[in-house]
A = this chain, B = another copy of it.
């Protein structure tokens, strides 16, 4: 007997038939003697529809009204699941953010959860009642509905699991777990049985968007064991856990990639103190997040070449910002390149092993792939390459680190 939070995303509750299927799955856990709280997203497509209503009404919309409107999607699904469970003879009731309450800060549209009141829910769980909780929403200090930002239902589920002291938080999605790399790129990709919070965070930051980043951060902080699994099968998924729970640590757990990167090189930037701040300050002011930064020695001894990456979506804005400052910054030329990809290898094992990067460089060199930029963190090595080599590089690294399925 365990206490479990189950979270189902939009495709899992896409229509009344799917919601009935979720009810059967919940009933199975209840019949097995588990105490179950369920967190739901809105029906897939519903939140987009509501957001479109809002933006049609007002371009610079009041986020408080946005929240009141878009929070209705989850209100519908939780009511319907409670009904479906009751129809199967399982005691259940729906809970809205303001009823629990799930208290958040007042940042409407992307609020952060501050507390979850669980006294009443605990009592009901102990009596065998299923608590069906609306994800993505809470109540702010102004007594108005807040929402947590897109994908926020994952965070709701983890916060609820922490508050309830749940044994596990199962996140049901349309994939059956976290993979060593994208199975569309290589059939040798394997489902990972256990992965650490840190690795999961790094995976998410480079494009493997299985869980909302904030939910993983919260799970790590609150030590909530999270399982990512499929709502279409009965197979176990991937457990996201503390490093202590993993006995045999892989050197590298996964290979991720992102094609959403662009590269800017400023040629012959005057090599003087304060120049980096002068360049990146205006970009930050415009809300542009810069990622990898490399400074090379230029042919010219008085100057340096500066290269950095940023999201493709921000490239035009960054370019015009920097060109407007060319005289002030004193660089000779700005080169922009969209045809790049970032490839990352991730693993907590690399903390205690030397030679991880070397193996990466060798594997790529063997395939004739040129590395443009390198950046490393404690458990991740990322490189930038020409986009056309993406699949080749991913496959080569997957093999080089011994991740290939038998």
Chain A residues near B (Cβ < 8 Å): 16, 19-20, 50, 53-54, 56-59, 61-62, 64-66, 68-69, 71-72, 75-76, 78-80, 82-84, 86-87, 93-94, 96, 98-99, 143-145
A261 CB to closest chain B CB (Å) equals 35
Contact of A68 among B54, B71, B94 (CB under 8 A): B94
**A20 neighbours in B (Cβ, 8 Å):** 57
Question: In the complex, are the beta carbons of A93 and B64 less than 8 A apart?
Answer: yes
A69 touches B58 (CB 8 A): no
How near does chain B come to A91, taking the closest CB pair, in angstroms?
A: 10
> Contacts A16-B53, A57-B20 known; A62 to B86 CB distance under 8 Å?
yes
Rounded to whole Å, the gap between the CB of A275 and the closest CB of chain B is 44
* Cβ-defined contact, B98 with A83, below 8 A: no
Residue of B nearest to A78 (CB): B68
Nearest-Cβ distance from residue A135 to partner chain B, whole angstroms: 15
Tell me the nearest residue of chain B to A59, going by C-beta.
B87
Q: Do A68 and B75 touch (CB < 8 A)? A: yes
Given contacts A64-B93, A99-B144, A144-B99, contact A54 B69 (CB under 8 A): no
Q: Are A57 and B83 in contact (CB under 8 A)?
A: yes
4 smallest beta-carbon distances between A and B, as pairs: A69-B79, A72-B72, A57-B83, A68-B79
Task: Report the minimum CB–CB distance from A94 to chain B (whole Å).
Answer: 5
Contact A54 B75 (CB under 8 A): no
| Option from B61, B64, B68, B87 in Cβ contact (under 8 Å) with A58 | B87
Q: A68-B75, A98-B98 are in contact. Are A80 and B93 (CB under 8 A)?
A: no
Give the distance to chain B from A45, nearest Cβ to Cβ, in Å: 14
Contact A65-B83, Cβ < 8 Å, known A72-B75, A75-B72, A99-B144 = yes
- Please name all residues of chain B whose beta carbon is closer than 8 Å to the beta carbon of A94 when the two chains form the complex: 65, 68
User: Residue on B with the closest CB to A96?
Assistant: B68
Residue of B nearest to A99 (CB): B143
CB closest chain-B residue, reference A56: B16
A216 to chain B, nearest CB (A): 30
A22 to chain B, nearest CB (A): 11
Using Cβ atoms and an 8 Å threshold, which residues of chain B touch A96? 68, 145
Q: Least Cβ distance of A74 to chain B in Å?
A: 9
- In the assembled complex, the CB of A69 is this many whole angstroms from the nearest CB of chain B, namely 4
Complex Cα distance, B82 from A96, in Å, reads: 22
C-alpha gap A143/B139 in the complex (Å): 15
Query: Which of A66, A76, A143 counts the most B-chain CB atoms under 10 A from its CB?
Result: A76
Residue of B nearest to A81 (CB): B57
Residues in B whose Cβ lies below 8 Å from that of A143: 99
Q: What's the Cα separation between A56 and B80 when bound, in Å?
A: 9
CB distance from A171 to the nearest CB of B (A): 24
Please pick, from B62, B80, B86, B93, the residue contacting A69 in the complex, using a CB distance under 8 A: B80
* A57 with B84, Cβ < 8 A, contacts A98-B98, A99-B144, A144-B99 known: yes
Closest to A75 in B: B72
Give bound CA distance, A86 to B72, whole Å: 21
- Hey, which chain B residues are within 8 Å of A76, CB to CB? 50, 53, 69, 72
Other contacts beyond A62-B82, A66-B79, A69-B79: 18, CB < 8 A: A16-B53, A19-B57, A20-B57, A50-B76, A54-B80, A57-B80, A57-B83, A58-B86, A58-B87, A62-B86, A65-B80, A66-B83, A68-B94, A71-B75, A72-B72, A96-B145, A99-B143, A99-B144
